Structure 1
């Protein structure tokens, strides 16, 4: 990558960093991406894809596969604590996951495709909304416009702190966990605090549920995890015995089927405790992330790309516990999500002093370029 192109992508990334938008609100970010792509002249532009999503389509002259390269538009509802000139200008919102850097990489791929159209098949650059809530990929897949560009392969990367800069972290099969948020609501009966026996407080049942849920994975054969993230009992009213309670937990597993099984067992366990205390119980589910599964064939292209570029590659054996909504594409097509090392001393993702390192942008662009070379030339 020449210096002028790198400076252009760096400046674009830093502009995006200054104006983060949350999941589902990425209108301005999408406008900035559209503006950047004006000079690139894609063969087709799909707007409002699954919300604020954008897809840029590049057609080859010969028959061939359709491949998709995805990045994310959204930032996080976290205050940034960095002493940098391009710090977030929006209070309480920041690009602390590196989606600004991922967008710069896919924008760099756009600049490459402007000069090097695919010879065969079709290349799609997707700027996806709402990754952080786990909703965006699913909404894109369900969008009728997406049916026109169904890919044979989908590729994505995520920067990974804790690994050397420019190192490629790759794995066949399960790469990132399936997860979802579980909300458990208990309903008993209010009473005066001086006569608790006249009501039915869910306090004890709530306590049992909190302890029992987190121990439940011990009984599972495969890796699973339940983390209680929030609990609420009644209201702050010292004259009242509480009548309702809410427990919230995140459920994780490396496979979608194992997660579903864990959800089933968790519900049964909670229902049993609620019955014991004669409480009504209900469940809600939010932020559902499918497991990200790397297909053997897609993995071969990614692995070969890293070899062609002589990049240091780490073949991991155990999947990551975090979730990525790229897993929704894994259900429908052959996918590869790989890691791009962003520095051993780099703050972790979602920490308020994290900032995507610009110097790894060329490696991300080069990896995707190499995959395109293999599939479209």
Structure 2
């Protein structure tokens, strides 16, 4: 069986047995079974279900890391492929099965072409879908043993021709975070609202104030977006004036400095509204993703790899609006993240009809292999 056939078979197996964030035990075990065939010098357990496989070079040199995501989504699959999910309500509808397979596909290549210098690390990270995955890995004591000089990853992108490589200098994808605003006043009978402290007017002020923040385009270097996604107030009863409320807002920006500024301004809006209406308030954050900022040298290396393989490619003018927790690596290390077209007719990410196309596996593997050769074998 050829290497690409083995990788396709691995992807189908992973697709058939998806697991949600931080519960990817069997997924991690399947990846380990595959990679161990190629005799990595060391294996490290990292952050819940994560695995790092290390291939040591003969001489000193850089640590080059390739990262993939282990987790699937809580989605009921509708693909009807022979290898469809056997775990009801869980599916690889984002393509992480393909991403894992491409990184795992480096193992047989490395086994036949051991590093001349430095070391190669194949990192399989849990919980990309819920934001804390990469952060937990970076903060893990185990990661200190394998801190990379370079780290690379990709994401498949529906709507782009199959196999086409998407590059971008600077910000590749946006920063985002979920802001949860809790307002606490005092309930009263609906016939006597004067005896209560209602959050209604504060919510009105918050909605208006948040809108005004992003209306001033000159205040930010690039895209700054505030989206109110949920409001809950009081109880479902006609006899009570509400005394508490919860407002959920998504903040999104292309630049980390803009995100910091927008966050501060939003907090001021909430504080002022609560003070005006004599309410107590609390603010918390979830799903906090920094902007994914590519390192210029890594982008140069990616472009060189693309050209060497003769792949079609393009530089994207604007960052993607979605977020990606690979940003936690690029905050601290030289990182290169690229897009891999998965087809103009491919269902969108997180769609129950999504199935990663096998015919682009070779493109992603080729880019990773060329980076590996350039950094750990050539110029020895």
TM-score, scaled to structure 2: 0.95
Distance 1:353 1:241, change over 3 A: same
- Deviations 1:322-350 (Å, cap 9, x if unpaired)? 11110111111110000000001111111
- Deviations 1:122-141 (Å, cap 9, x if unpaired)? 00000001111111111111
Separation in 2, partners of 1:270, 1:146: 38
Deviation at 1:38, TM superposition (A): 2.4
- Deviations 1:296-326 (Å, cap 9, x if unpaired)? 1111111000000000011112111111110
Partner residue in 2 for 1:68: 65
SS of the equivalent of 2:53 reads strand
Partner residue in 1 for 2:210: 213
Partner residue in 2 for 1:345: 345
Partner residue in 1 for 2:164: 167
Partner residue in 1 for 2:2: 4
Structure 1's unaligned 5+ residue stretches are none
SS of the equivalent of 2:33 reads helix
Separation in 1, partners of 2:251, 2:23: 26
Q: Is 1:214–1:225's contact at 8 Å kept on the other side of the alignment?
A: no
Separation in 1, partners of 2:176, 2:30: 32
Which deviates more, 359-368 or 87-96? Answer: 87-96
Separation in 1, partners of 2:366, 2:207: 47
Separation in 1, partners of 2:371, 2:36: 24
Separation in 2, partners of 1:264, 1:280: 18
Separation in 2, partners of 1:132, 1:126: 16
Separation in 2, partners of 1:364, 1:299: 15
Would you say 1:153 and 2:145 are equivalent positions? no
Would you say 1:29 and 2:31 are equivalent positions? no
Which deviates more, 302-311 or 210-219? Answer: 210-219
Separation in 1, partners of 2:341, 2:255: 25
Separation in 2, partners of 1:355, 1:236: 41
Which deviates more, 159-168 or 71-80? Answer: 71-80
SS of the equivalent of 2:128 reads coil
Would you say 1:81 and 2:78 are equivalent positions? yes
Distance 1:347 1:59, change over 3 A: same
Separation in 2, partners of 1:192, 1:57: 66
Separation in 2, partners of 1:233, 1:306: 53
Aligned-residue RMSD, C-alpha: 1.3
Separation in 2, partners of 1:187, 1:175: 39
Partner residue in 2 for 1:329: 329
Deviation at 1:211, TM superposition (A): 4.3
Separation in 1, partners of 2:268, 2:201: 18
Partner residue in 1 for 2:228: 228
Q: Is 2:187–2:197's contact at 8 Å kept on the other side of the alignment?
A: yes
Q: Is 1:188–1:280's contact at 8 Å kept on the other side of the alignment?
A: yes
Separation in 2, partners of 1:234, 1:88: 40
Distance 1:214 1:23, change over 3 A: farther
Structure 2's unaligned 5+ residue stretches are none
Separation in 2, partners of 1:247, 1:79: 29
Separation in 1, partners of 2:3, 2:237: 61
TM-score, scaled to structure 1: 0.96
- Deviations 1:273-298 (Å, cap 9, x if unpaired)? 22222111110011111111111111
Separation in 2, partners of 1:116, 1:351: 38
Partner residue in 2 for 1:318: 318
Which of 189, 192, 195 in structure 2 is aligned with 1:198? Answer: 195
Q: Is 1:214–1:228's contact at 8 Å kept on the other side of the alignment?
A: no
Mapping of 1:241-260 within 5 angstroms?
241-260=241-260
Deviation at 1:78, TM superposition (A): 2.1
